[in-house]
Amino acid sequence: MFLDRLPRPLRLALYGVATLILLAMCLVPQQDLPSAQMGDKIEHTIAWFILTGTGLLLSHQRPLAIGAYAIGLGVLVEVLQLTMGFGRHGDWRDLVADSLGVAAALAVYALVRRFGRR
């Protein structure tokens, strides 16, 4: 795959950029966000699916570590939303939605690894 040929520092930098984009989206004041037509929990599930999927595409070596990192990031986001006072509100249900996105990405990754290359 094309991404496998990228140097490891570049792959880590790309994942870092994806993480920063997600953090920015989760921590900016709510009134500054564009209105999405999906429910908040669906948005969380999709965002964490994409973050985890990006990590899995960039590094095939530790899928569970990538999943744990993504869930840890979800915990951090909810704690920051509770404490920063930018009109954002931490919610344990967001963390459940984040975890569902992570689990879905890991499941798709496992299925592709198992059945994708024959």
Distances (CA, A) of 31 to 9, 53, 88, 117: 36, 28, 9, 45
- Would you say residue 17 lies in a domain? no
- How far apart are the C-alpha atoms of 43 and 60, rounded to whole Å? 25
- Would you say residue 27 lies in a domain? no
The predicted pLDDT at position 87 comes to 72
* pTM for this entry: 0.85
- How far apart are the C-alpha atoms of 55 and 50, rounded to whole Å? 9
Boundaries of domain holding 49:
39-118
- Would you say residue 104 lies in a domain? yes
The predicted pLDDT at position 116 comes to 75
Ordered per-residue pLDDT tens for the chain, 118 residues: 566 778 888 888 999 999 999 999 888 876 655 555 568 889 999 999 999 999 998 887 799 999 999 999 999 999 998 888 777 788 899 999 999 999 999 999 999 988 876 5
- Would you say residue 115 lies in a domain? yes
